[in-house]
Amino acid sequence: MNIKKNDTVIVLSGKDKGVKGKVLVAMPAKNMLVVENVNVATCHTKPRKQGETGGIVKRETPIRACKVALYCEKCGKGVRVGHKVDGDKKVRICRKCGAEI
């Protein structure tokens, strides 16, 4: 999976199509991501402890990694990722403009 935590991504399909957000959690084993303000679910919670209040909580739920693309600031759109060896480091680059991501 080419997308990592704190990357900016854009949603390609689904009810949140076109929304940009930051990756909060990456789950490579399940090929899923939790993206900020994307795929938000409303959870009704009960009070568990004495004095705790229940209520309605909005929470981001995981989305499949194939439904998002890495967002390139220079291109201004979702792009595919390439890799380049720069000295002794391996860096990710934009396939369209060649900028380092």
pLDDT, tens digit (0-9, with 9 covering 90-100), for 31-90: 999 999 999 999 999 998 888 889 999 999 999 999 999 999 999 999 999 999 988 999
> How far is 94 from 32, CA to CA, in rounded Å?
21
Domain contains 99: no
Domain contains 83: no
Q: Which domain holds residue 17?
A: 8-73
Domain contains 87: no
For the chain, how big is the Rg over CA atoms in Å?
Answer: 17
| Type and span of the H or E element at 91 | strand 89-94
For the entire predicted model, the pTM comes to: 0.85
> How far is 5 from 56, CA to CA, in rounded Å?
27
Domain contains 91: no
Domain contains 62: yes
Domain contains 85: no
Domain contains 38: yes
Domain contains 59: yes
Number of domains in the chain: 1
Say what the pLDDT of residue 51 is. Answer: 86
Please report, for the domain that includes residue 59, its CATH number: 2.30.30.30
CA distances from 79 to 40, 65, 83 (A): 24, 13, 13
